[in-house]
Structure formats: structure tokens, C-alpha cells
Amino acid sequence: MIPDLTLYLRLTAEFGGTEFGPYDEVEIVLGSDPDTTRIYLRPELGILPQHVRVFRQGQDNLILAPSERTAGVYLFRGGAERPTQVTTPTAIQSGDQFALVSPGGPRFEVELAPHPERTASRTDGGPKNFAKRAPKWSAFTAEGRRQLFTTLLVTGPAQIAQRVYTFVTSGAIFMPRNIFLGLAIAGGWIFGGVQGCNNRKTKADLVVKNTRVENCERELTYAEKLTGGDSRDLSVAELVAVLSGSINLGQALESDDELRTMVKKKSKTAFANKQRFRWLTKGKSASAGRFADWRERITSEESIDEDTRNLLVWLAGTPAKRNSDFSDTTDSEGDDVCVRGTIQMTYRQAISMGMDAQPDALVTKNYQATAEDKTKREKALDQTVAAAGTMLPEDNFETDVDPVSQGRAGCIYVQGSDERTSSAALLSALTQHLGDSAAAVPIAGDPMGSVARIAKYWASDLTRVDYRDANIAIDFENSQVGDVLDGYDQRGDWVLERTADTIARSVVVPCLAALDKNKGDLGPIFGERDPNEIGVNCLIFKHIIENP
């Protein structure tokens, strides 16, 4: 018997739009083993031999089932922008989409459509001749208008509309009793609407509170583990939790293999380059003073959770002392660019986060000559604004140049106010995009909350990400940071490295101070986390990092 509906799986447009099907069998397997799957995908994409199954039960009951819990499967229900990771068999329906490996991986749309054979039989099997004297088309339309008009006159809505018209035109609407009655009815609707909104808010608050209770229970279990034994038996993630004072950070690294591996790599590099952090561990230079001021400002910002604040401090902890607002770096596109301000932000990052910034451009050869040539300097600046999706000022504008990298290169920039140099403006932007109510990240206090927010900060440099838009094109809310960034090729690797580098600095630099024999007054630099109290754990952490 031919079924009424059959199953199709279609790659979305960005992956070519290829249609697979129709499928009438109970089970469809997608994977990288051509001998055991109906839909074959290359293993280079990270696809397992049998990655996911789609089961069909009856006419329209569908089940999406990962082959194992580690298989990355992300479900977009009804065209939703944010996916939910699927780890167990889950009911789906026609119109849903699912991505493999990561939210940005190969994405299929599920469709139940009429079976082509049944459709053909219905088309071919009906009568082929009409009556010899068919009514004229004008007769059909006239009769249709007559029946529609009659139906409208006798239905409830039409009668109500007629009464309302008479009520207004007769002046009855202005009688006192009707005015009071109208106010009472309106008040009831308003009260009911307010109560409905309050009820929805209460339910949302309850979900948040329950989530936080669960997080607290996990934190307690994790804390008991950290305090119940010898520090030498702790893992890298557990030692990070001890040294940073953040159980959430330890839990986040415990569950995210890619991020934890990168943090170990960046920590090893920081230990090996301890001389580059001397300006911080000695705490006596003007640069150290600026860092201490940034720490005080960011740690006092109550709209950002404590774990995130303690990591944001280290955006300013670059491995080199700076004598000006400008420096240079390699951005997410692999280009050498200028960075500016306390936390060394690129022009593209500032624009993505809604800040007012002046275009700048890094010139690595003969920057003075370029600065003096209007055509050359505007060409250099044009590349910066094009990559950020902006334009140079239309009117005549003045430029200046700032030498970086010990005079071997220079940053040409448009003169004017730039919020990257304002701590108040930076805090405002960070609060908006990384604060407790920020979008596309877990709720504040979630184990993944702080690392997701740091990754979101660095992802602001990606060319296809713009936090000024409602759809910011990247979402860390329901997935591990490493899994999300897997879908962004080498750009995602750049974000992962910068995120891991920020975490590594937050642990390693205090350890470098703790292991330095000539310690000074480091309170302004390290705040309440006194390096003198963590020396033993720092030695263990350093040993594990350098001797895996």
C-alpha cells in the first residue's frame, strides 16, 4: 500500500539545497560510512560513521536520535534561530531543521510531503470529460458574490459591527452609564493583561531560580571534591578552579575538551614567557597603574557577574608594557591591524559592540611616508572601514600616526573622539553585551556563563557577527564554547585561542607573581587574590602544564 506522506531530507540553501528522498522506510541513517548509511557525509566534516538516525512511526511521527551522546546534533524547531543540542531520542516534525557536528555544521530540513506515486494515481484516475454544457464563468462569480454577501449579513461578527455602528452614530456611546461601563470593561482588560504579564514573568523567574539552584548544587559537589584531598591529585580544570577562586570556571573547563586543551597550551606559553609579564608582576610602572585602575573599575561593575568580571580584568593584561593607546595584533581574518585603548580593541570589535570609534590602519613599512601621502593613507584606512562595514567621514578629516612595535610600524588613525580609550564607554558596552541580561549566552551564574561571555567578546571581531543586529549570527547559550566555534573554521580557532589566552593569564600571571622571590605590594594589581597564598598550588599547576 502506498502511504499518503513520504519523508524528504533537504540540505538548507547555504549547504547547496540538495534533496534526499523520498524515504518510506522506518529508519534513515546519516553518517560517514557509505556501506551502512542512506545519506553519506564526508568524515572530514567531523561526521561519525553512523552519526544520527531519523525514525518514522506511523504517518507523521518522527524521532531524531544521535547514534551516541558525543555525536553533535543540534535541533532548530520550526525555523528557530537558536538550536537545542540533542543527546537523546527526540520527537520532531515536518519543518524542523537539524545540524550535525556543530550549530554551523551541515544542516537538514525535515519535510513530510504527499507521496509522488499516490499523487500521480489521483491525477491520472479521475474523470477526464466534463458535462457538455458547462456553466459560464460569470455565473460562478455572481453566485459566489451573492452567497458571500448573504453569509456576512447573518453571521455574528456582521451583526455586532452593525450594532456598534448604530451605537456610535446615535450618540448612545456618550451617555454617562455607558462611559462608566466602558471604563470598567477597559479596566478589567488592563488588569487582566497586567496579571497575565506578571504570571509569565513569575514563571520565567521560577525557571531562572531553579536553574541557579541546580548550579549551586553542582558547585557544592565540585567544591567538596576540591577540598577533600591532596592538591597533587587535582586535574588541570580543578587547579584552575582553586587558583582563580571560581568553581564555575573549573566546571566549564572540565566539560569543554577543546577549550581546556587550549588553556593548557596558552598557560604553558605564558609560563615560558614570564619576562613579558614583569610589568605586571612587579606592579611599579605606569602601565601597571593603568591596569590597576581598570581592575578597580571592572570589578566594581555589579551588572556583570563576578566570574566574568574577574576574567574581563585580564583583557588588559597583555604580555608587553605599552607606552601609548595603540598597539598591533593579528585579527580573526589573519590581517595585521591596530588595536586601541585599555583592553586593546580592534576597530571592527568596537563597531560590532555599538561604540563610537575612529578608523585606524596598521602600516608596517614606511609608515611616515604613507601618513604624509593623502591617497596612500586613505587607501589604508579604506581597508579597515570596508572590513567593518562602515565608511570614512565624508568631509575633510585630519589624520595622525602613532608608532608601534618599537617604531617599526605605525597606526594611522582619524583624529576625533574614540570610545575605546574611555573606561566608562568600555564598561557600558561590556555591560550591554556581556552583562547579566546579555543575549546569546547562558544565564549569569551558569558554569558556562563566564567563558561564554569572554568568547562572545572575542567573537565581536568576526566579520559575519554584529551585535548591533537582533540576529548576531553566533550563539553560546546552549552549547559548549568549543562546539560553537567549530563551525567557524580558522576564525573560530582565533576566538578559541583568544578566549583561552584570557583564562590562562588570569591564572598564570598571579602564579608568576607568587613564584617571584622579590614580591612587592601587589594588592592593586591582583585585588583580593593574594599571590602569596597560592604558591604551592602554582608549583603543582606549572608542573602539570609543563609535564603532561
The b/e string for 195-206 (b: 16+ C-beta within 10 A; e otherwise) is: eeeeeeeeeeee
Question: Which of 325, 319, 328, 323 shows the shortest CA–CA distance to 409?
Answer: 328
* pLDDT tens string 374-394: 999 999 999 999 999 899 988
CB 440 within 8 A of CB 419: no
* pLDDT tens string 56-108: 877 778 889 898 877 889 999 877 778 888 888 888 889 999 999 988 889 99
What pLDDT, on the 0 to 100 scale, is given for residue 91? Answer: 85
pTM beyond 0.75: no
Domains of the chain listed by start with CATH number? 5-120 (2.60.200.20), 139-174 (no CATH), 229-357+418-546 (no CATH)
CB neighbours of 200 closer than 8 A, spacing ≥ 6?
A: none
Q: Which residues of the chain have pLDDT under 50?
A: 121-156, 158-159, 162, 165-166, 170, 203-204, 206-215, 217, 219-224
CB 504 within 8 A of CB 541: no
Q: For the residues of 206-256, what is the DSSP string, one character each?
A: HHHHHHHHHHHHHHHHHHHHHHSS-GGG--HHHHHHHHHT-HHHHHHHHH-
What pLDDT, on the 0 to 100 scale, is given for residue 134? Answer: 39
What pLDDT, on the 0 to 100 scale, is given for residue 233? Answer: 78
* pLDDT tens string 382-436: 999 999 989 998 878 999 999 886 667 899 999 999 999 999 999 999 999 999 9
Q: Please state, in angstroms and rounded to a whole number, the distance separating the CA atoms of residues 285 and 278.
A: 10
Q: Please state, in angstroms and rounded to a whole number, the distance separating the CA atoms of residues 448 and 434.
A: 13
What pLDDT, on the 0 to 100 scale, is given for residue 148? Answer: 47
Q: How many contiguous H segments (helices) and E segments (strands) does the chain have?
A: 19, 16
Strand segments (E) across 300-371: 326-330, 336-340, 360-363
What pLDDT, on the 0 to 100 scale, is given for residue 2? Answer: 60
